[in-house]
Structures are given as C-alpha cells and as structure tokens.
Structure 1
Amino acid sequence: MLASLAVADPARPLLTYYDDATGERTEVSGVTLTNWVAKTANLLAACGLVAGDRAAVLLPPHWQTAAVLLGCWSAGVEVAFHSAATAGLPRIGPGADEPVGAVFAALDRVRDIIEDVPEADHRFVLGLGPMATPLREVPDGYLDYVAQVRGHADTFRPDAQVRYTDAATVDGTTYEEWGRGARGVAEAYDIRAGDRVLIDAARFEHPIQWLLAPLAAGATLVLCANLDAGALDARTRAEKVTRVLRG
C-alpha cells in the first residue's frame, strides 16, 4: 500500500505530522517514508531478527511510529502493541511466554512506565523530537533509534519474501487480514483515493485507524497530536484537507 502511493507521486507529502503542544510540523513524502521503512527493516535484520520474530512497539501515533511499524512488517516481524487504544490486541510484557526480539519505546514510556517495557535483546528508544533529532541522553540499556537507523541502507531486500498468509501481529492476524480490515475501516470512515485526511491522534490511536486505513484507500495523512481545535479551520485550508476524523 505504501509503495503504490510512493510510486504514484514520490515527492507528494504522504504524512504531515503536527504537535500543537510544541508547534512542530514535519512533512514526510512517500519516498522519504519508504526510505525510513527500509532503514528500520535493515536495522532489524542487523539485530538478527528474521520473519516470524517479534517486536514490541510502545509508541504513540507519529510519523516515526509509521516507519517502525511498516519496517517491522517489511521484515516479516510480528508486532505487539502497547496502548490503551489497542486493548483488544495481545500484550507482551514481563513474564510473557514468547520472547521479544526488539522493543521500540517512546522516551516518556521508558522513564515513567518502565515496568511496562518487556525484556528484549535489542531495545530502542525514540525521543520523537522535531526533525528526528538524536537524543542528548539515552537511558541505560537502550540505543537511540534515530542515531542507529540513519546508518542503514535506503532499500531493503529480505532473505525470504513475506507472504500474505504470514502473521503480522502476535495474535496470528495475517497481513491479508490486516489489509482487509484496513480497507473496511477506510470504507466505514468514507476515506477515498486522493483524500487528504486530517486525523486527531488522541481520538484515533490504533494503527489501523491513523495509518493503515488511509494507506489502504490511497489517501494521504495530516496527523495531529494535541490538536488545537482553534487551529482546525486554518489547517484544513492550508493542508487542502478533504476529510476530518475527530471522533
């Protein structure tokens, strides 16, 4: 889904991220996001993870989260989510029966909810700062995702092709089932090809809502954290938004 959008218009803004609490605006084209996805998949491969291994993702809706999720899936790595919005999905945590090969965690989660971070051979922390700036200080036991991922190649060639029938998440849901679900969500929200969709990240935290459904429909995203309702009309005009999801 990502490739079809990126090929159609590589320079077009595919995901524009706002954080109204900090004033950040980051615009990511299809080709740029594709490069970050490939770098993430290569990072996982360098860690020794292969298709069927597992990664825990403790990240909020964010353009870097999109790169991590799509990078895991490009490498065939099964994902476990940690979020109140994903309560219906399986949880991997301390004491889980199945091992986790890698963890991607937001800095605030590492600092404040450390007991919620599972053990793993490879732990990456994301500051989620503007312009993907590296962290000045990295918590013990972690590597800075941004600093690590930048050194990897912009293309990814898996050793084995990921199949539609392979599991994409740790509950066994396949790539085909996730794709079908994403298309269903897009239809439910009336997201169509060519749409520019503004999404309130606080209301739509599940990746199938804020990421996969727009991609499945052939739409681009304006993802807004800490959305300022007073800025909504002006932003809708400036970003040429055609569809608004606010709950």
Structure 2
Amino acid sequence: MNAAPRTPAALLNAALVADPGRPLVTFYDDSTGERVELSVATFANWVAKTANLLQGDLGAEPGDRLALLLPAHWQTAVWLLACSSVGVVADVGGDPAAADLVVSGPDSLDEARACSGERVALALRPLGGRFPQTPEGFVDYAVEVPGQGDRFAPFSPVDPDALALVTSGAGRTGAEVVEKAAADAVELGLTGPGSRLLSGLGYGSWHGLSAGLYAPLATGGSVVLCPRLDALDQGTLDKRIEAERVTATVH
C-alpha cells in the first residue's frame, strides 16, 4: 500500500494517478475576460516544467528560500507546487533581499530587484504570454519554461518535515501544509472528489492559499479562482456558480 502523501507535490502526484483528466484549477480574470481551466494532467505538466527550470536553470536546492511576489493566479499555484517538488521554501510575499531567488509579477519588479540571486518575471498576460520586452535583470518565465522537460525528478528527496511554505511570516513544513489543508477542506465544505470551490480570496494569507489551492487538492476536488469576485453583481455570480458547478464558495 502506498503511503499517504506528506507534501503538496505528493498530493499532486496522487491526483495525477487517480484522475488526470479532471479539472483542478480554473482561473478567471474579470478585468480581461480571461478564463483558463487546467486539468490535473495539464497543471502537473506546468509544475514539472517549472520545477525543472527552478532546479536546473536557476540552480535552486532544497532549503533555498524563494520570495514569491505574485497575486492569486493559476501561474502562482504552479510555482507553489514547483517549489514543493524541488524542496524550495515558498515565501509568499516575502522579502526579496532575504531570499535566494525571487519570482515577481509585473507590478512588483522594483521590489524584486532587491534580491541578489536569480530573478524571474511573469507578465501574467492571458494564455501565459510573455513581456513585450524582458525586464532588465530578470528572465521571462514565459520564454524560459516552454522548453523545459515534461517530467521532473528532484536531485535530492524532498523532506516532508522540512520548512516548505511561509505566509505572513509563519512557516509550515510540507507535512503540516497537507495536514492543515485536509482539515480546512472539511470547514470549507469540500466533501471529496467532485467538490468544486469558488474562491475570491487572495493568496496573501494561509486562508487564501488553502482555499485557492491546497484544500481542494488535498480532498480530490477543484478550485475556481476568481480574485475579483467581489466586483461581480449577484446575477453574474449566480450564473458563474451554476456554469462552473460550484459546490462551495468563499470570499
């Protein structure tokens, strides 16, 4: 019998074995009209490519700290699982000056330049588009990731009891992330496979990260990530809930 998953990356691997074709992350940007839906298999492929970029091209090692300066977005979710795959500590909103490397969105590039290590920039454009011109001092994620391998194997086994995630200054090991996410799933009304959570929360807190990624992953469910949910009128919200077959909502 296989051991229960004890890291977020192991949760993703288990989901890939169980049902690779089911939706995992659906992302809406209501400012642009963008909707992206990633199955478990597609999401896992993005994670593998990103983990290969992180471990190979960027030279990241287990225990390195990555300042993750990205909003709630499907690409942010990919980076979180890539960090777990390599054993890198994802410090969400962390201080770039204290990090070994930084991953930044277009609105935090100046802040990210405080990092003396490798710097990666994401344009966060529809369809994962690249910057018209790569920001100085950064590599463009959208340029670098497509050529990465579709399968990933860490150089060193990831320790589930090592620090894996930092949010609002509080750290959790991989095992603690999995355990807390499973407990949160119950509170969020995720009852198991087929559960579909609509989340309007940002990724700046554990609550937002759990609802927007970890709890659905831990329970075999999926998330509909809508960071601008509060801007929708009730009629539009009701239609989205119906169209996306949402079973629980948090915002």
**Alignment TM-score > 0.5, same fold:** yes
**Which residue does the alignment assign to 1:74?**
85
- In 2, Cα distance between the equivalents of 1:93 and 1:105? 10
Distance 1:204 1:233, change over 3 A: farther
Distance 1:101 1:41, change over 3 A: same
Secondary structure of residue in 2 paired with 1:225: coil
- The Cα of 1:233 is off from its aligned counterpart by 0.9
- In 1, Cα distance between the equivalents of 2:116 and 2:84? 18
The equivalences for 1:26-175 within 5 A come to: 26-46=36-56, 47-82=58-93, 91-94=94-97, 96=98, 100-110=99-109, 114-115=110-111, 118-169=114-165, 173-175=172-174
Secondary structure of residue in 1 paired with 2:163: coil
2:221 aligned with 1:219: yes
- The Cα of 1:202 is off from its aligned counterpart by 4.3
- In 2, Cα distance between the equivalents of 1:138 and 1:203? 25
Distance 1:41 1:198, change over 3 A: same
Alpha carbons 2:203, 2:212 under 8 Å: kept: no
**Which residue does the alignment assign to 2:196?**
196
- The Cα of 1:8 is off from its aligned counterpart by 2.2
Residue type of the partner of 1:218?
Answer: G
Alpha carbons 2:121, 2:141 under 8 Å: kept: yes
- The Cα of 1:117 is off from its aligned counterpart by 5.0
- In 2, Cα distance between the equivalents of 1:15 and 1:72? 17
Normalised to the residue count of structure 2, the TM-score between the two structures is: 0.86
- In 2, Cα distance between the equivalents of 1:33 and 1:103? 21
Residue type of the partner of 1:181?
Answer: K
C-alpha RMSD over aligned residues: 1.8
Q: Which consecutive unaligned segments of at least 5 residues does structure 1 have?
A: 83-90
Count how many residue pairs are aligned between Structure 1 and Structure 2.
231
Residue type of the partner of 1:74?
Answer: S
- In 2, Cα distance between the equivalents of 1:118 and 1:209? 30
- The Cα of 1:101 is off from its aligned counterpart by 2.5
2:182 aligned with 1:183: yes
Q: Which consecutive unaligned segments of at least 5 residues does structure 2 have?
A: 1-10
- In 1, Cα distance between the equivalents of 2:236 and 2:112? 35
Distance 1:102 1:224, change over 3 A: same
**Which residue does the alignment assign to 2:13?**
3
Residue type of the partner of 1:103?
Answer: V
- In 2, Cα distance between the equivalents of 1:209 and 1:36? 21
Secondary structure of residue in 2 paired with 1:22: coil
- In 2, Cα distance between the equivalents of 1:198 and 1:237? 11
